[in-house]
A and B are shown apart, each in its own frame.
Chain A
């Protein structure tokens, strides 16, 4: 219908090529433009400056007696700090690496000279639940570490996964000892 209007659609072919080229550049330009608009919107969903700058957390270890653990919050996540007994340290160190799902020596998971302190991100590597075991009344699983109630993963006293479905050991947060009884997480 409208095609039968006053328009002649048979322009010279050279003209058409020029028009096509222009349209190609235009389409490319529009695509660049849309991308340039999309990026700020998407990036606005990334962590904002205040979240990125979130300060580190100081933890006083003095009140934590042997065999006990505490939970602190860093970046919105639970951080497990446990004061291990000599027996727990020994069991963690004596495991044959071949028995582990993700082989890693205990010495690689604690700071040198502070064997009694294990500091972990308290999030199960399976699907993000918080494992039990940091309170004295909690079940600690067969290996005396942590037990995830969601799907039954078990961790040993070094936070290494010993029983699936979790595929990896509990992650270690960045931290440093400021003194023998004080750490800074972050």
Chain B
């Protein structure tokens, strides 16, 4: 039946070619997406804990003035390698709401490891009022919530360039080559030397952006390392079981005459 085969090939091949041609323009648009090397994106990769800790420093010092990280608790910081004592000290540095006092009034006090991260604004409305009408998104899942993930967030942080001469900017917005539509409500948050690292790492914009994105990637997927470690064991076990099952299958079927 070679005729049929060629008929089928005749239908499939052009269709696949057409389909792949059609998807080319879609890919071309993503050329602007940076392609950073992330320790955690490799198959068995883990988080660069030092980078994540520096990233936490940037989040605390810079991002957290506007952006919440609602899904995180101070206790979670053990995931980027902080010791219980360090976590206690970090938490104690923040003032968070602690329910009500005995008179029924809202109470505030130093955070404990069990507290959720302090949010900069009481609610979305307050956040908008303070930010020229724009709502700074919660960053807990930002890396997962954007097409392009870590690279996209890195691209935003490093994407502040002067607007092209012909580009018409609206008041109160900033030009960012990564942002869809290029007009973003957030002024450039990081520059060379915005922070000072205690471990002597350089503070170029690229380094800072890389560190804070590492931190945010951990914040979005704190289970990553454990997941991959368990995954390796599970897959190896299953491969072993497949071989074993197949061997038994061959044995069982060995006396069947096809």
Contacts and interface: CB of A to CB of B under 8 A. Distances in A.
Direct chain A–B contact by Cβ atoms under 8 Å: yes
Nearest to B237: A33
Contacts of B113: 53, 55
Contacts of B240: 29
A26 interface: yes
Contacts of B235: none
B149 to A, nearest CB: 25
A1 interface: no
B112 A33 contact: no
B165 interface: no
Contacts of A180: none
A50 B245 CA distance: 41
B244 A29 contact: yes
A63 B102 CA distance: 10
B3 interface: no
A25 B244 contact: yes
A42 to B, nearest CB: 16
Contact of B244 (A18, A26, A55): A26
B248 A22 contact: yes
Contact of A19 (B241, B252, B257): B252
A87 interface: no
B73 A53 contact: yes
Given A26-B245, A50-B73, A54-B114, A19 B251 contact: yes
Given A8-B255, A11-B254, A50-B73, A22 B244 contact: yes
B85 to A, nearest CB: 15
A8 B255 CA distance: 6
A60 B102 contact: yes
Contacts of A36: 234, 237
Interface in B225-258: 234, 237, 240-241, 244-245, 247-248, 251-252, 254-257
Interface in B210-228: none
Given A53-B113, A55-B112, A26 B251 contact: no
A7 B244 contact: no
A5 to B, nearest CB: 9
A55 to B, nearest CB: 4
Contacts of B119: none
A6 interface: yes
Contacts of B114: 50, 53-55
10 contacts: A11-B254, A18-B251, A22-B248, A26-B248, A32-B237, A36-B234, A50-B73, A53-B75, A55-B112, A56-B112
Given A7-B256, A22-B247, 17 more contacts: A6-B256, A6-B257, A7-B255, A15-B254, A19-B251, A22-B244, A22-B248, A23-B248, A25-B244, A26-B244, A26-B248, A29-B241, A29-B244, A50-B114, A55-B115, A56-B112, A60-B102
